[in-house]
Structure 1
């Protein structure tokens, strides 16, 4: 069993000249709730491809532990807050970087994953699926019935498989509730997968838990039916939520769920539980996150990985690099 000695938080920041790029934050030793940005609070990776900005990064370790893959949304709102354009005719690609050690990253590449009927590809994540001997990569897409992407539609969760993050299977719908769902994330425990998503519908008397996080569970990533676990997670402590990220403590049977309240005054709020299956989450009493923490992922680190990041501070290139298209 791998022994871990700390955590890496991979994230972006709110819209600004350099906000929608990739930032790294390191935990205070093995403390799972206290993080400080590396590299002097400057981006570690830049994108100059596609929309020239990246959001919602997610990082996954290969099953053999020899490689890391980072995927992110190809989107830059600092240049355009036209949400309708981004959903109807936005990027259908995701940005991908690879690294052998979390410090040295290869040139980023833009890879098409969503089908032509999709208007966007948001919040990609990757999870290794031993049943398929491949990574399941999932993201949100709005699908349209016509080539011009007119009319009304809604985001659903798409997925595809890959073994190398270069060639992907044909995309398919993974989650379709008949209404807007975005920001899916998955964690496995004792043979059960727990899937957290955002109900993106506007809140109303008919949809009292809109704009909040719900959870469901299954014993396979490809299961047809997922059992409901909890809805409206965190409401009361927060007014709304999106961008959930979830990870397990490296030292005890405890899990942490961060939910982005996405208000002008507050972003990520951490919650904890000792029983994933219960669906009960309690706000954490103390925590320290980097300034303006946005949708990302937390990865447990070995002592070598932690020390390498701490000593080198994940030094980035001098500025944006062009990267490659596929």
Structure 2
């Protein structure tokens, strides 16, 4: 019998409620006619109109509203479709689902609501209509966070190290952990490179849906870091869940364009002003003419936006200081975002903070010019203990007090080491003491969870 975490929850597909309706709309004067040598006149526009009908039919049939029977957040409603078609959406209840896909769920305790969406697909004088019936779930009950989930990988030194491992905190203590599933992977990649690193899990703003994204990369057995940044993956690995135990089938989603040599350490943050997630990762970008990616380059932080981790906007540069940076992570306090990023330059006397973490701040998530706060985070001195080098920062707020934790991966050393502060804006971080993390945790995420979520994880995966 498969382990509970390996059981897949099927993804709900669109549910059509209107049959396809094609309307050929002839506008203006009657079309010119051509006469064959031996037959009656043939409309000159007949073939073109037939071709447009076929294109519109195909474009309408290709439309999908994902998870239509279990809507829990904003949805993607495209404005354009196949063959250059234009799409207009109408909603039977725009207070619940707008024609542009914003979702306002019923309050906790109410019944689910049924909403019908109609897509009108147009090309020239031809149009088709396609309908979908949506079930919008009520909001979940708001419960306090009383523990933490830790998702991570354990390194490229073992065959199962580049897969998803999990641990849960002992009560509400983020410095002491119990491994789940006996320390074995809880999710295993079967797509792309068939290795996953740097897992990041995010809770939806409504609170009852989770997305786990990770780097498509397997170094075990080859060790070729140069090739991994020239001809590496342009994809993210994606899973989703509503309970943190049962996960969907893995999705292999392209987010980088063909000039990218790699797509490393993806993370995401919800942006209320966009009504979407901002997903960011590191890529080396090559000249478009250098299709083999043989030239020089360096890692920049890229971003794209999404509502469903299926459809992404085109990638854009988010942070480019002119040298290599990777592994950004973000937390928000009040109206200010704080970003932590690894300076990937080689450590020299002229760059003493290289291979450590830099902190910046901004009041706008998509700003490309953040304000400097601090650098050399994690590096020790005569007074403060520290690490030899660091990457893969993950940052989160304590459930119980005005304190933030920053776990930094001492790669080539101890793996994750926790630091803490009571003032994010200060940029001063102190190494935690008396901690007991899982065995060999590498770049991952700590997610605050409720007691019910903690209990379910322990019961299903053991600890």
TM-score of the two chains, using structure 1 as the length reference: 0.94
Q: Does 1:307 align with 2:307?
A: no
406, 412, 432: which one aligns with 1:263: 412
Please give the secondary structure, in 2, of the residue aligned with 1:87: helix
Structural mapping, 1:156-175, within 5 Å:
156-175=300-319
- Map 1:29-68; keep pairs closer than 5 Å: 29-68=171-210
CA deviation after TM superposition for structure 1 residue 14, in Å: 1.3
Distance 1:199 1:232 in 2: 9
Aligned to 1:320: none
Q: Which residue of 1 aligns with 2:250?
A: 108
Which of 129, 133, 151 is residue 10 of structure 1 equivalent to? 151
Return 5+ residue gaps in structure 1 as ranges.
316-326
- Contiguous gaps of at least 5 residues in structure 2: 1-141, 381-385
Distance 1:209 1:140 in 2: 19
- Whole-angstrom CA distance in 2 between matches of 1:156 and 1:28: 37
1:281 paired residue among 424, 429, 435: 429
Equivalent residue number for residue 71 of structure 1: 213
1:92 matches 2:234: yes
Tell me if structure 2 keeps the 8 A contact 1:103–1:314. Answer: no
Q: Which of 220, 224, 230 in structure 1 is aligned with 2:364?
A: 220
Deviation of 1:263 after TM superposition, in Å, equals 2.2
1:129 is matched with 271
Report the Cα offset of residue 150 of structure 1.
1.4
Q: Deviations over 1:239-269 (max 9, x none)?
A: 11111011000000000001111124x1111
3-state SS, counterpart of residue 84 of structure 1 = helix
- Give 1:164 shift: 0.5
The structural deviation recorded for 1:234 is 1.5
Q: Does 1:231 align with 2:379?
A: no
Give the 3 Å change call, closer, same or farther, for CA 224–90 of structure 1 in structure 2.
Answer: closer
Q: Residues of 1 paired with 2:336 and 2:170: CA distance? A: 30
* Distance of 2:410 and 2:452 partners within structure 1: 34
For residue 200 of structure 1, what is the aligned residue in structure 2?
A: 344
How many angstroms does 1:2 deviate by? 4.4
Q: Secondary structure at the match of 2:428?
A: coil
Is the counterpart of residue 247 in structure 1 residue 247 in structure 2?
A: no
Give the 3-state SS of the residue equivalent to 1:308 in structure 2: helix
Structure 1 residue ranges, 4+ long, deviating more than 3 angstroms after superposition: none
Partner residue of 1:297 out of 419, 425, 445? 445
C-alpha distance in 2, partners of 1:172/1:314? 41
Corresponding position of 1:185:
329
The separation in 1 between residues aligned to 2:462 and 2:188, in whole angstroms, is: 13
RMSD: 1.1
Q: 1:2 to 1:175 in 2, by over 3 A?
A: farther
Alignment length (residue pairs): 314
Residue 283 (structure 2) aligned to one of 126, 133, 141: 141
Higher relative CO (Cα under 8 Å, sequence separation at least 6) belongs to 1
SS of structure 2 residue aligned to 1:34: strand
Structure 1 residues 66-121: Cα deviation after superposition (integer angstroms, max 9, x where no partner): 21000000001102211111000011101000001000101101100011100000
Aligned to 2:261: 119
Going from structure 1 to structure 2, the CA distance change for 1:120 and 1:283 (only over 3 Å counts) comes to same
Shift of 1:271: 0.5
Q: Secondary structure at the match of 1:309?
A: helix
Find out whether 1:153 has 2:294 as its counterpart: no
- Kept after mapping to 1: 8 A contact 2:319/2:368: no
> Helix, strand or coil: the match of 1:33?
strand
| 8 Å CA contact retained: 2:260, 2:284 | yes
- Find the aligned partners of 2:256 and 2:441 in 1 and give their Cα distance: 27
